[in-house]
Amino acid sequence: MAFRDALLAAADYVGPAQVNNICKHLPAEWIEQALAATGTATLRRRRLPAEQVIWLVLGMALMRDRPIEEVVTKLDLALPGANGAIARSAIPQARARLGDEPMQWLFERSALAWSTQSADANRYRGLAVYGIDGTTLRVADTPDNRAEFGGASSSRGDSGYPQVRLVCLMVLSSHELAAANFGPYATHELKYARPLIDQIHDRSLTIVDRGVFGASFLIGLTRSGSERHWMTRARSTTKWRVIEQYGPDDALVEMDVSSEARREDPSLPQTWRVRAVRYKRPGHEPKTLLTSLLDPVTYAAKELAALYHERWELELAYDELKTEMLDRRESIRSKTPMMVRQEIWGLLLAYNLVRLEMERVAAEARVPPTRISFIMALRLIRDEWLWSSDSRPGAIPGHLHNLRRDLKRFILPPRRAERTYPRAVKVKMSNYPRKRPI
């Protein structure tokens, strides 16, 4: 508790010219509300009460390279006790008592608040720009995890690790996660994406991956609010009829809604009209974009073609999560499905905390948030967390100010949009035999 209290006390000491620390972004009342809403508040005195375990889960996400018991020690999370150091067995018991629901509540509450501010700060012609895409996370290979989450399978057998399918809604200009949904690998991305529609704001444009293309999803997105638009790339098998030609590579088209989709949702029309924009990038085959932005004057075809490639920001965010925060480990560490869910919600929340701090730095430096190095920001925040656990509270404000100053040194150069690289890998496969569960 000394770690958290010292940081929160120091945050009050920091003047308006400086910025609050990363813990200040997560108000104590949110934590209390999360525990109360999910019925997990600690009623008896324990060495690791529920509110401390929340910080433990965040510490696990930010310090992936350290054992969990070392995270407890370094962040001084355990309350004083007669027996000295806390027993290792008490840590998983405390995590089990907390469960995954408080971490989900905290992520959803904070994501709604933070992403709203972020989306409003950078708009395209008055529209907040989001992206939806999916990825997978490997989890520890235990019988419980494999039974709960499953994994990929092929002619060569099941995947080496169970896998969780994760779908996120992200503010593309800042990489702030606005919503997330995940579960068993076998469930299609589209089912995980549908609940995310409720978190998309009015007057927005959502760029979606072709994996979540479908009339029921996209029509539902536009119906569920005011001026909610979408854009995606057409599949090679997509068919349409040209209704009106706006330009050589720009047309209003009509597509049929499949009978299967209308059986699932009888309110869907038999046909729907969208706009088709054809474009070509140097070194690539021509592509066609489909969008609900039907006005060719307000939303120029060339602008839409350039804007579509902002979708790649989601891929970069997943790389930051899996390569940097998880240190490219084979799997996340939790052994049971409940703790897997708890750890993933903590990972997503910690990622947003880092990104939120980067947004503050970018605002002070007057550069886009994507110009701040995520790797350097994460390393510095990790260092500050470890340093703060052993520091005098009176010295913390100066070090937090230095954190902001140091982050400004790691402003990335502007993106070179003209560069293109085909997808390729250096090492295709290993010569070792495949190890699979028996």
Instruction: Give the count of alpha carbons within 13 A of 37, CB side only.
Output: 15
Per the domain annotation, does 356 fall within a domain? no
Per the domain annotation, does 246 fall within a domain? yes
Per the domain annotation, does 344 fall within a domain? no
Query: Which DSSP string corresponds to 68-83?
Result: HHHHHHHTT-SPP-TT
Tell whether 24 and 151 lie within a shared domain.
no
Tell whether 125 and 250 lie within a shared domain.
yes
Tell whether 143 and 61 lie within a shared domain.
no
Tell whether 275 and 394 lie within a shared domain.
no
Dihedral sign (CA 282, 287, 291, 297): positive
Residues near 11 by beta carbon (within 8 Å), at least 6 away in sequence = 20, 21, 23, 24
User: In the predicted model, is pLDDT for residue 89 greater than 50?
Assistant: yes
The structural domain count of the chain equals 2
Per the domain annotation, does 384 fall within a domain? yes
CA distance 96 to 86: 16
**Res. 394 pLDDT band, cuts 50 70 90:** very low
Tell whether 290 and 307 lie within a shared domain.
yes
CA distance 287 to 395: 56
Given 315, 330, 351, which residue is the final one in a domain? 315
Given 300, 315, 330, which residue is the final one in a domain? 315
**pLDDT digits over 265-315, tens only?**
899 999 999 999 999 887 788 999 999 999 999 999 999 999 998 999 999
With CA atoms as reference, report the closest residue to 389 among 77, 83, 88.
Answer: 77
**pLDDT digits over 303-353, tens only?**
999 999 899 999 999 999 999 999 887 788 999 999 999 999 999 999 999
Tell whether 53 and 67 lie within a shared domain.
yes
Per the domain annotation, does 280 fall within a domain? yes
Tell whether 87 and 136 lie within a shared domain.
no
Per the domain annotation, does 35 fall within a domain? yes
Residues near 378 by beta carbon (within 8 Å), at least 6 away in sequence = 62, 324, 325, 354
Query: Which DSSP string corresponds to 326-359?
Result: STT-SSBS--SHHHHHHHHHHHHHHHHHHHHHHH
Tell whether 271 and 168 lie within a shared domain.
yes
Note whether 408 and 361 are within 8 A (CB).
yes
Q: Looking at this protein, which amino acid is placed at residue 299?
A: Y
User: Tokens 């599949």 appear where?
Assistant: 235
Given 289, 315, 341, which residue is the final one in a domain? 315
Beta bridge partners of 179: 169
Per the domain annotation, does 326 fall within a domain? no
In the chain the first and final C-alpha atoms are separated, in Å, by: 45
**pLDDT digits over 368-377, tens only?**
888 889 988 8
Note whether 326 and 64 are within 8 A (CB).
yes
Note whether 210 and 232 are within 8 A (CB).
yes
Give the residue, 221 or 282, on which the prediction is more confident.
221
Tell whether 60 and 148 lie within a shared domain.
no
Residue 161 lies in domain = 103-315
Residues above pLDDT 70, as percent of the chain: 84
Note whether 228 and 200 are within 8 A (CB).
yes
Q: pTM here? A: 0.86
Tell whether 210 and 302 lie within a shared domain.
yes
Per the domain annotation, does 198 fall within a domain? yes
- Give the pLDDT mean for 168-194: 95
**Res. 387 pLDDT band, cuts 50 70 90:** low
Tell whether 162 and 263 lie within a shared domain.
yes
Tell whether 8 and 89 lie within a shared domain.
yes
Give the residue, 106 or 48, on which the prediction is more confident.
106
